[in-house]
Structure 1
Amino acid sequence: MLAAVLDEFGTPLDVREVPDPGVRDGEVVVDVLATCVLPYASEVFGGERRYPLETPVIPGLGGIARVVTTGPDATRLTPGDLVWCDATVRSRDDANTPDITLQGWSSRGDGGLRLSRHFHDGSFAERMSVPTECVYPLGDVDEADAARWSALGVYLVPYGGLLAADLRAGESLLVSGATGNFGSAAVAVGLAMGASRVVAVGRDRRVLDDLRVRLGDRVRTVALTGEAERDRSAMITAGGGPLDVVLDILPPAVDAGVVRTAAMTVREYGRVVLMGGVGMLGGADLALPYPWLMRNSVTVRGQWMYPREANGRLIELARAGLLDLDQDAVHTFPLGRTNDAIAHAASHGGPFTRTVLTPHDR
């Protein structure tokens, strides 16, 4: 089969013939139909993000596929099923705190790194092997829409954060970092979950205006000025008062002070979820005032990725039309143009813009 292989960080991916993955117990072999190329993929492959990814590796974060072969532990999947393959792989020997690897992408801690050596290669290939529990049937979705549905991986990340926040229908939500690829997805998912009002916060006024036009009157926007108290006041005003939930999904280069300003807009008993990359490349850590947290009973938690059940639930939100995948602008590339796709994703990382590899196109 053909696959795009990262042999060394800082070098282009090499599209070449590699052995087909064999089916093993506990795994499913699939033909990859479509897989998203994230805007920061070039930073991962260039080594800037310092991900614990061991080369050589076939990268790629899950995607839409057709089942080829199942192992003996699969009782409902059958060859030919159209499925979503989740890249979030968990170890099976600790139900409480499993180690996690993102197949073909990254991992958490020493245990996650060991896990990644078994579930090593990702979806930038014609075929891949996936843990059985990471394969989710899509039902009667048209295969012609596979590229559009491959964006599930983008929407799942903020969905995991909003589930962690226990966002409820009728509550208000503030998204810090709303003008990025994941942040704009968070705005859309918050609306799909029934938020009464979503305050979209960012620096790019043009993108913020587009979010309001695209997603409707429940979206309120705040363009950051860099003056903390002024920005905080504007966020609370846009929210109609202190917010129920704040989701931070800012990238690594942003100063932690921006996170602090947004976090301090929550009401008494409000919830703050941190999902971004702030601090991963150095810089000051996040500082929140102890008395304010304690006296207002504010919950602050981190969230990496999402629980397993998020996959099926998000698929149903999309199938029901509550999450509208048709709003995405999708640009497809065959596997042979993987490096072109990576460059395109880096320069087209705005809201609802998807760069997708379609490995079986020539």
Structure 2
Amino acid sequence: MRAAVLTEFGAPLAVREVPAPRAGGGEVVVDVLATCVLPYAAEVFSGERSYPLVPPVVPGLGGVGRVVAVGPDATRLRAGDLVWCDPTVRSRDDALTPDIALQGWSSRGEGGARLAEHLHDGSFAESMRVPTENVFPLPGEAAADPARWAALAVHLIPYSGLLAGGFAAGETLLVSGATGNLGSSAVAVALAMGAGRVVAPGRNRAALDLLADRFGSRVRPVRLTGDTAADGAAMSAAAGGPVDMVLDLLPPSAPSSVARTAAMTVREYGRVVLMGGVGMLGGDDLALPYPWIMRNSVTVRGQWMGPRGANVGVVRLVASGALDLAPEHVRTFGLDAVNEAIAYAAAHPGPFERTVLAPPAG
């Protein structure tokens, strides 16, 4: 089969013939129909983000596909099923603290590196091998536009963060980093889950206007100035009442002061969930005051990706129409144009911009 291979950091991906994957026990082989190219993919492949990928590797973060073959322990999946493949792979031998790898993308610690060695290759290929528990059936309507449904790779992240924070219908959410690709997704997902209102701070006026135009009065845009005291006051005022939860999705380039200012808008007994990249490339750590956390009974937690059930939940949100993918702008590239796709994604990182690789086998 053909695949796009990262041969070394800093080099363009090379499209070449590689051995076709085979399913072992607990695994499924899927023909890839569509997979998202994230806006920061170029930073990963250049080595700028220092992700623990080991070249040569077929990258790619999950995708939409059709089942080709299943292992002997699959009881419901069948060849030909249309499915979503979750890239979050967990070790099976420790239920309390499983090791984690993002197949074809990243990993955590020594155990995660071992997982990544076994499930080395991702979705920038005609076919991929996936753990059985990472394959989720999609509704029939997804077959008409698998490239649009590949956006599950983006929406799954904030949905997982909202689950982690116990977000409930009617609550007020503040999305730190709301004008970015992931942050704008968080706005849409929170509203689909029944948010009373969503405070959306950011510096990009055009992106803020887009959010307001698309979602109406339940979204409260806030133009950030860089003055932390003024920005914090503006975010609190925009909420029009207590902020129940803050979800941070800021990129590594953002200063920790921005994340801190947003976090400290949360109410007493509120929750702060950290899913962004602040501090990953150096810079100051997030310094939240101990007395403020303690005396206000604030819950602060980190969340890297989400549980298996999050995949089912986000698919249901889209299938029900609560999370509408129709307004998203999707640009699709074939496998041979993978490097063009990576460059296009980097140049179009804004709200609801989706770059998709469609490498179906011939």
Task: Specify if TM > 0.5.
Answer: yes
Q: Distance in 1 between matches of 2:219 and 2:321?
A: 18
Question: 1-side partners of 2:124 and 2:225: how far apart?
Answer: 40
**What SS is found at the alignment partner of 1:128?**
strand
What SS does the corresponding residue of 1:327 show, helix, strand or coil? coil
Does the aligned pair in 1 maintain the 2:89–2:101 contact within 8 Å? yes
Distance in structure 1 (CA, Å) of the matches to 2:325 and 2:144: 13
Secondary structure of residue in 2 paired with 1:231: helix
Identical counterparts, % of pairs: 69
Partner of 1:285: 285
Alignment of 1:298-313 (within 5 A): 298-313=298-313
Q: 1:64 corresponds to which residue?
A: 64
Deviations 1:4-34 (A, max 9, x none): 0000000000001111001211100010000
Check whether the contact 2:331–2:355 (CA below 8 A) recurs between aligned residues: yes
Superposed CA deviations along residues 109-157 of structure 1, whole A, max 9, x for unmatched, are 1110111000110000001110000000003224121000000010000
Note if 1:197 corresponds to 2:197: yes
Q: 1:101 aligns to what?
A: 101
C-alpha RMSD over aligned residues: 0.9
Contact 1:203 1:223 survives alignment (8 Å)? yes
Match of 2:91 in 1: 91
- What corresponds to 1:264 in structure 2? 264
Q: Which residue of 1 aligns with 2:74?
A: 74
The aligned residue for residue 112 of structure 2 is 112
CA contact (8 A) 1:201 1:224 kept: yes
> Aligned-pair distance for 1:361?
7.7
Deviation at 1:227, TM superposition (A): 0.8
Provide structure 1 residue ranges, at least 5 long, that are not aligned to the other structure.
none
Structure 1: how far apart are the matches of 2:242 and 2:259?
Answer: 16
The correspondence of residues 200-279 of structure 1 with structure 2, limited to 5 A, is: 200-279=200-279
TM-score under structure 1 length normalisation: 0.99
Off by >2 Å, runs of 4+ in structure 1: none
- Which residue identity is paired with 2:131? P
What code does the residue aligned with 1:157 have?
I
Residue correspondences, number: 362
Q: Is the 8 A contact 1:4 1:13 kept in 2?
A: yes
CA distance in 1, matches of 2:261, 2:188: 22
- Cross-structure match for 2:325: 325
- The DSSP-based 3-state class of the residue aligned with 2:145 is helix
- Equivalent-residue separation in structure 2 for 1:20 and 1:50 (angstroms): 28
- Asked if structure 1 preserves the Cα contact closer than 8 Å seen for 2:142 and 2:149, the reply is no
Q: Which amino acid aligns with 1:297?
A: S
Is 2:44 the partner of 1:44? yes
Q: Structure 2 length normalisation: TM-score?
A: 0.99
Distance in 1 separating the partners of 2:142 and 2:125: 21
Q: Which residue in 2 is equivalent to 1:185?
A: 185
CA offset digits 1:62-120 (Å, max 9, x no partner):
10000000000100000000000000000000011100000000001111011100011
Contact 1:10 1:46 in 2 (8 A): yes
The CA deviation at 1:331 is: 0.3
Q: Secondary structure at the match of 2:226?
A: coil
**What residue in structure 2 maps to residue 147 of structure 1?**
147
Deviation track 1:150-173 (CA, whole Å, cap 9, x = no partner) reads 000100001111111100001000
Deviation digits for residues 217-243 of structure 1 (CA, Å, limit 9, x no counterpart): 100000111111111111011101230
Letter of the 2:199 partner, please give it: V
Amino acid at match of 2:112: G
SS in structure 2 at match of 1:141:
helix
Q: Which runs of 5+ in 2 are unaligned?
A: none
